[in-house]
A and B are shown apart, each in its own frame.
Chain A
Amino acid sequence: MPFQIKVHPKVYDVCIVGSGAGGGMAAYVLSRAGLNVVVLEAGPWYDPAQNVTQLKWPWESPRRGASTAFRPFGDFDAAYGGWELEGEPYTHVPGTQFDWFRSRMLGGRTNHWGRISLRFGPKDFKGKSHDGLGEDWPIGYEDVAPYYDKVDELIGVFGSKEGLPNEPDGKFLPPPKPRLHELFIKKAATSIGIPVIPSRLSILTKKINDERGACFYCAQCNRGCTVYGDFSSSSCLIKPALKTKNMEVFVNAMVREVLTDENGRATGVSYVETHSLQEYQVKAKVVVLAASACETARLLLNSKSTRHPNGLANSSNLVGKYLHDSTGSALGGVLPALFGRKRYNEDGVGGMHVYTPWWLDNKKLDFPRGYHIEYWGGMGMPGYGFGFGIQGLNGRFPDRNGNIKKGGGYGAALKDDYRYYWGASVGMAGRGEAIALESNYCEIDPNGTVDKYGIPVLRFHYKWSDFEIKQAKHMQETFQEIMHKMGAVITWGLAGPEKNYGLETPGRIIHEVGTTRMGNDPKKSVVNKFNQAHDCKNLFVVDGGPFVSQADKNPTWTILALSWRASDYIIEQFKQQNF
């Protein structure tokens, strides 16, 4: 049989590439407005109510929850994918590092994240105006605020009203009470001037509609929620959008390129069905890219034509540039006060109940921008890794009977040590803002590497600057102060200059953004302030790509708000007959 590209007969109003936060929100808003929408997802179907790992016991995994290449965050984690995908490589400019996490499944990486749902504040949109670094966004907090409100109401987020200038309050559900280790952290940190406030997570502490149940406190959001008590794009956006009957979802559809006509306008996309390897084309009046910052850049750079010789929407030559991920550094240890603690069910929501927003004035510091602190600890469900390295612990502290023993050991005394120390661990991690640099980028690999579908792959060039290293140093110093103040003993994570103070490899925090940044000047940006490509009016990007700067906030809530805003703009343009 001759090879044939199949063309779907229907011309959709909108074709959306990717079903994560950005794609899911666009699908939800556009389909509910009556537009005919098709969503292409490179991975398989996924529904947390059907694909269940929640409320399972450690022994139901033969590896007791250890990570695999397919589930790098553990065998019970909902997200399929990881930093390495079989047959889908990426390369690096020698001497630089970037780890690229991809989750190929319905809902994308919203199936994994910690549900931390922070708004950017007014300063976060105007970094350059404050410290002369990077670039300002073409929009401000006031442009996005109404959409943050709408996202809060649609999806649900808990938190507390604090009135902090750069941590805008939202329409919050009530937060859960702190757990024991969190009370210790709060007492210690606040006594040395570091604020600790209720976290802001998109988990339903109250029921908000009949489609989703309320949280039942199993602490397992990373496994996906069978009652949809937390946010994932599949359960909260794609599923309701399908009910409109205006939308179709094609799964296992790996998009190759965006198709354009002789005038340079987008006409649809071509994709390969990953099981049959059949090639398809789907036509649409508007194409919305939400494949994740780097995958979208790859797609644009691979969509070359006479009108777009440099790749689509790339007359600025900035597609792929200004790539930046959050900074991260972490340490932890044990709180001896909690040895031998009383047992009770401490499972709360799937994440921290308290956190520390950025609290300092950079004028007094040797690095720009800030970081927030995430905390963990307590009597979590044991999994692979439980008890590892006890020889570093049970020689340092007296046991239950006050005996000082040698570290390590065996037998009944050792067995009791595991019980005695359980639930006393505590840890913390910083998540900070890096300055977006043109010199940190992804590009099509110039050596011609392709993936298993024959799609040219990305090559990364990323180096941290001194700013990020100094920020990580500050994190380490802060964490040590908090640990010391609460009487905890650090057992891991301490890192000095030889290890860049524990600064994680770029990409490890999975907050990468900036590759198709927005702006008013088509020479200095890829999309305009409505996420619309300067060079191609019926092409939009609604993932993290358009971010001008990352802020010290997890990007999901802002991706959702901007995608909704861009979708409203698309609807308006349809009404004006512009597509």
Chain B
Amino acid sequence: MKRRDSIKAIAISALSTGVLLQQGCNENKTEQKAPEFSIDRHPFEKERDLKLMSQRYFTDDEMATIKVLIDIIIPRDEVSGSATEAGVHEFIEFIVKDIPRHQLPLRGGLHWLDNQCLKRFGKIFRECAPEQQIEMVEEIAYPADAKPEMKQGVTFFNLLRDLTATGFFTSEMGLKDLGYMGNRPNQWNGVPDEVLQQYGLSYSERELNETVKFENS
């Protein structure tokens, strides 16, 4: 296969997968959306993933609180949307079933948080005023400065922040926000000149002579 053809073949296969997915969705409009797999899956991988997707771990109340929290962690700004807009809560619901060791720290942490808010404000976290929610988050968001009695909250918030960041920046919205430009056929011809200049670096004569060259670059 010629190089150009191979790139074309990839482009076509990527496109046709997209088309197939779209058709699948249209046909199933009235039914619940059947999850599709666009990556190589073994039958038992499919079976396991579908099973996990059909289960629910968090209660509606817990999920409602998660949504508030993750949008406090990653809010909408001038570059991109918020964590919930990127579907991070759905990722968190899946990942705790996939990696069950995350379950208890998150569930327990949510209840710890509600209890703290009840003591402080007489309401659970979700029902507190936005300023009260921020006041509470401030207590648990900075591990080095947090009071000893906030330790449980810090542990919980660290985990939730990690999962929120991963969920957001591995979403389509997050990847675009980050400015990741790869995952497509490319010709790596070295660090751009202006970047080399910025760092005072350069390629040696030998590197320039002996490394890969591209005909059409």
**A contacts, CB < 8 Å to B:** 44, 51-53, 55-66, 68, 70, 75-76, 78, 80, 158, 160, 174-180, 183-184, 187, 198, 205-207, 210-214, 216-220, 226-227, 229, 337, 341-349, 379-391, 395, 406-412, 414-416, 418-419, 422
A345 smallest CB distance to B (angstroms): 4
Judge if B26 is at the interface, Cβ distance under 8 Å.
no
- With a cutoff of 8 Å between Cβ atoms, the chain B residues found around residue A183 in the complex are 191, 196, 199, 201, 203
- With a cutoff of 8 Å between Cβ atoms, the chain B residues found around residue A44 in the complex are 42
Asked whether, in the complex, the Cβ of B188 is within 8 Å of the Cβ of A348, the reply is yes
Judge if B98 is at the interface, Cβ distance under 8 Å.
yes
Judge if B131 is at the interface, Cβ distance under 8 Å.
no
Asked whether, in the complex, the Cβ of B183 is within 8 Å of the Cβ of A388, the reply is no
Asked whether, in the complex, the Cβ of A60 is within 8 Å of the Cβ of B162, the reply is no
Asked whether, in the complex, the Cβ of B143 is within 8 Å of the Cβ of A210, the reply is no
Partner of B145, one of A63, A217, A337, A406: A406
Closest to A228 in B: B1
- With a cutoff of 8 Å between Cβ atoms, the chain B residues found around residue A179 in the complex are 188, 191
Judge if B174 is at the interface, Cβ distance under 8 Å.
yes
Asked whether, in the complex, the Cβ of A59 is within 8 Å of the Cβ of B40, the reply is no
Known: A65-B170, A345-B181, A347-B186. A174 touches B165 (CB 8 A): no
Asked whether, in the complex, the Cβ of B195 is within 8 Å of the Cβ of A342, the reply is yes
8 contacts across the A-B interface (CB closer than 8 A) = A174-B211, A174-B213, A180-B191, A198-B210, A219-B182, A344-B192, A384-B95, A414-B73
Chain B residues numbered 162-206 whose CB sits less than 8 Å from any CB in chain A: 162, 165-167, 169-172, 174-175, 177-192, 194-196, 198-199, 201, 203
Interface size class of B (residues with CB under 8 A): 35 or more
A67 smallest CB distance to B (angstroms): 9
B133 smallest CB distance to A (angstroms): 11
**B contacts, CB < 8 Å to A:** 1-3, 5-7, 9-10, 13-14, 35, 38-40, 42, 44-45, 49, 52-53, 72-75, 77, 79, 91, 94-95, 98-99, 137, 141-145, 157-158, 161-162, 165-167, 169-172, 174-175, 177-192, 194-196, 198-199, 201, 203, 207, 210-213
Asked whether, in the complex, the Cβ of A175 is within 8 Å of the Cβ of B141, the reply is no
- With a cutoff of 8 Å between Cβ atoms, the chain A residues found around residue B213 in the complex are 174
User: A416 CA to B178 CA in the complex, in Å?
Assistant: 9
User: A219 CA to B187 CA in the complex, in Å?
Assistant: 11
User: A220 CA to B203 CA in the complex, in Å?
Assistant: 25
The 3 A-B pairs with the shortest beta carbon distances in the complex, nearest first, are A387-B165, A347-B182, A213-B6
Asked whether, in the complex, the Cβ of A342 is within 8 Å of the Cβ of B198, the reply is yes
Closest to B72 in A: A410
- With a cutoff of 8 Å between Cβ atoms, the chain A residues found around residue B198 in the complex are 342
User: A213 CA to B7 CA in the complex, in Å?
Assistant: 9
Asked whether, in the complex, the Cβ of A384 is within 8 Å of the Cβ of B3, the reply is no
- With a cutoff of 8 Å between Cβ atoms, the chain B residues found around residue A59 in the complex are 170-172
Asked whether, in the complex, the Cβ of B1 is within 8 Å of the Cβ of A210, the reply is yes
- With a cutoff of 8 Å between Cβ atoms, the chain B residues found around residue A390 in the complex are 161-162, 165
- With a cutoff of 8 Å between Cβ atoms, the chain B residues found around residue A62 in the complex are 35, 49, 52-53, 91, 94, 98
Partner of B166, one of A206, A349, A384: A384
User: A210 CA to B39 CA in the complex, in Å?
Assistant: 27
Asked whether, in the complex, the Cβ of B74 is within 8 Å of the Cβ of A415, the reply is yes
Partner of B183, one of A177, A347, A418, A422: A347
Asked whether, in the complex, the Cβ of B142 is within 8 Å of the Cβ of A409, the reply is yes
- With a cutoff of 8 Å between Cβ atoms, the chain A residues found around residue B91 in the complex are 62, 64
- With a cutoff of 8 Å between Cβ atoms, the chain B residues found around residue A341 in the complex are 195
Partner of B212, one of A53, A177, A419: A177
Closest to B44 in A: A70
- With a cutoff of 8 Å between Cβ atoms, the chain B residues found around residue A383 in the complex are 170
**A177-B188, A384-B166, A408-B141 provided; 6 other pairs, C-beta below 8 A?**
A179-B191, A187-B201, A216-B185, A341-B195, A381-B183, A391-B143
User: A219 CA to B183 CA in the complex, in Å?
Assistant: 8
- With a cutoff of 8 Å between Cβ atoms, the chain A residues found around residue B143 in the complex are 391, 407-408
B138 smallest CB distance to A (angstroms): 9
Interface centre among A174, A226, A415 (most CB of B within 10 A): A415
Known: A207-B3, A213-B1. A379 touches B166 (CB 8 A): no
A459 smallest CB distance to B (angstroms): 28
User: A70 CA to B98 CA in the complex, in Å?
Assistant: 13
User: A325 CA to B81 CA in the complex, in Å?
Assistant: 48
Asked whether, in the complex, the Cβ of B211 is within 8 Å of the Cβ of A176, the reply is yes
- With a cutoff of 8 Å between Cβ atoms, the chain A residues found around residue B195 in the complex are 180, 341-342, 344
Asked whether, in the complex, the Cβ of B162 is within 8 Å of the Cβ of A387, the reply is yes
Asked whether, in the complex, the Cβ of B142 is within 8 Å of the Cβ of A407, the reply is yes
Partner of B178, one of A177, A198, A419: A419
User: A187 CA to B204 CA in the complex, in Å?
Assistant: 11
- With a cutoff of 8 Å between Cβ atoms, the chain B residues found around residue A187 in the complex are 201
Asked whether, in the complex, the Cβ of A379 is within 8 Å of the Cβ of B162, the reply is no
Closest to B182 in A: A347
Partner of A70, one of B42, B172, B194: B42
A573 smallest CB distance to B (angstroms): 37
User: A407 CA to B145 CA in the complex, in Å?
Assistant: 9
- With a cutoff of 8 Å between Cβ atoms, the chain B residues found around residue A75 in the complex are 39
Known: A382-B175, A384-B166, A415-B75. A160 touches B210 (CB 8 A): yes
Interface centre among A56, A60, A387, A418 (most CB of B within 10 A): A387
B142 smallest CB distance to A (angstroms): 4
- With a cutoff of 8 Å between Cβ atoms, the chain B residues found around residue A344 in the complex are 181, 192, 195
B180 smallest CB distance to A (angstroms): 6
- With a cutoff of 8 Å between Cβ atoms, the chain B residues found around residue A346 in the complex are 181-182, 188
User: A383 CA to B177 CA in the complex, in Å?
Assistant: 15
Closest to B138 in A: A410
Asked whether, in the complex, the Cβ of A411 is within 8 Å of the Cβ of B75, the reply is yes
User: A191 CA to B20 CA in the complex, in Å?
Assistant: 54
A178 smallest CB distance to B (angstroms): 7
